Structure 1
Amino acid sequence: MAGNDALTTSDGYQDLLLESAGFADFLLGLATISASLLNACTGTMLCTITVERDGAPSTVASSSERGRRLDEAQYAAGAGPCLTATRQQRAVLVEDMANDQRWGKYPQVALDAGVKSMLAVPIPAGSSSKAALNCYAQEAHAFDQDSMGIIEEHAASLSRILRLALRVHAPGAYPDHLRDALKSRAVVDGAVSLIMLQHRGGRDGALELLQLAAKSSNRRIHEIANEIMDGGTFSAAGLNGG
């Protein structure tokens, strides 16, 4: 993630911020991009981002539904690796969930979800906010010194754009009856962000590709977006013909 790749990533972050409808949309895109970039460097993992600001409830964005559930389990318990990394602003490594007893029943929740190790790394977010990048792996002892260094470097690279986003977007609160609709939309927005990264295009172009894929396969956009967010591949090849 150096040189031209770093410049491209920086441009991608700015495009994501400019084209996101709100902070939750931006954060979801950031988590999705993080998972894609880190998977290419360190192997398959789930990525989530936790943000707390001005004493308000935390915002969580995840590259997958499973990652979201793992974070929410920590919030329900009021404790866990991602909360510790966020609130204490220090890296938290869980090398083997089966042998970790720091967070009550949470390690078993992670094991039941197929996660055996985890690394949570703080993202500097300014004086009034705290944030962390959380990475879940399916194997125990998945994080060596090299992969930890890559993840910490990536988390640091998110700092500037996240601080800017926190200034641009005011905290949002959504009524309970809108949460299901927002969750459905979040899946599509996350898939669009990943297509933007893969095809080096804007948001409108990525959404058009997603719509074209749905039309050509006679499937719902949300169904295809779910597959992309769950690690499926997306190719624009052959779509131009309708």
Structure 2
Amino acid sequence: MAENEALPTPEQLQDLLLESPGFTEFLLELTAVSASLLGGDAPMLCAITVEQETGPATVASSSAEARSLDERQYAYDDGPCLTALRHQRTVHIPDLQADDGWAWYAQAVSDEGIQTILAVPIPTGNGSRSALNCYSTKVHAFAPETVAAVEEHAASLSRILRLAMRVHAPEPYPQHLRSALRSRAVVDSAVSLIMVHNRCGREAAVELLQVASRSSNRRMHEIAQDILRNASDIPVVSGGGDP
């Protein structure tokens, strides 16, 4: 996985919130960035669950698959992510198929090929509970240092998520908006990764993406997808980024 220093700082998370078009877009970018930066050899799926009086909901996910993995737990009112947020403790399942304690969930998601799950609580207060949920198709995908990095990342999300939830009610984004938001979120997430990697501003990051698009004669959306799949493809600012 990426080194810890590659993870967004609290200041960068605040910038991401301030520069995102809206709360939903911010959360979509956040999960995509988390999945890309925390992922290793095997792709990682990430989602954020928030539970309030009305029940749990996936407020954002890095993919439709991640959302589905969360929602199957809601149907049973039980699961790794719900355990993490309700008991405020990390739930790490290194080999889902071999874990008797979660045999029912392994059966429920057998068609998804998920082998490892890591759910980490995000302290939010304000009458709600949250968790960052990570799924991998690789057995024993999360080494101890990866678990520690995800816990550190979740802790850094706490303040910014609490701040965002004070201003916006965390609701699942409507079905008819998901496709459009997802397409835009792919580009926005790639821009955010470029900002984090180069420690530059959004304008410089967008310009890098545009240059990469023009030089390769490919759409920005395609370049952005490549960046999210492989963080090593992130363009680099010549001479360093602006503060």
User: What pairs up with 1:1-242 in 2 under 5 angstroms?
Assistant: 5=5, 9-39=9-39, 45-53=44-52, 55=54, 58-64=57-63, 66-75=65-74, 78-102=77-101, 106-108=105-107, 110-171=109-170, 174-231=173-230, 233-236=232-235
Could you tell me which amino acid in structure 2 is paired with residue 38 of structure 1? L
Change (3 A) 1:100 1:178: same
What is the Cα deviation at residue 44 of structure 1? 6.1
Say how many residue pairs are matched.
235
Distance 2:219 2:199 in 1: 24
Residue identity in the other structure for 1:97:
L
Identify which range, 166-175 or 201-210, moves more after superposition.
166-175
TM-score normalized with structure 1 length: 0.77
Distance 1:148 1:179, change over 3 A: closer
Residues 13-22 or 203-212, more deviating: 203-212
For 2:119, the aligned partner's letter is A
Question: What CA deviation, in whole Å up to 9, does each residue of 1:53-107 have, x standing for no partner?
Answer: 4536623333455434433444455543223322343322212111235556542
- Residue 176 to residue 69, structure 1, CA distance change in 2 (3 Å): closer
Q: Report the Cα offset of residue 120 of structure 1.
A: 0.3
Where 1:48 maps in the other structure, the secondary structure is strand
Q: CA deviation at 1:118?
A: 1.1
Amino acid at match of 2:23: F
Corresponding letter in the other structure for 1:152: E
Q: Is the 8 A contact 2:49 2:58 kept in 1?
A: yes
Question: Is the CA contact 2:115–2:137 (under 8 Å) kept in the aligned structure 1?
Answer: yes
CA RMSD of aligned residues (A): 3.4
Q: Which runs of 5+ in 1 are unaligned?
A: none
The Cα of 1:125 is off from its aligned counterpart by: 0.6
- Compared with structure 1, are the counterparts of its residues 31 and 167 closer, same or farther at alpha carbon in structure 2 (3 Å cutoff)? same
Conservation of the 8 A alpha-carbon contact between 2:198 and 2:236: no
TM, length-normalised to structure 2: 0.77
CA gap 1:227/1:105 in 2 versus in 1, 3 angstroms: farther
CA offset at residue 188 of structure 1? 2.0
Residue 195 of structure 1 contacts residue 234 of structure 1 at CA under 8 Å; is this kept in 2?
no
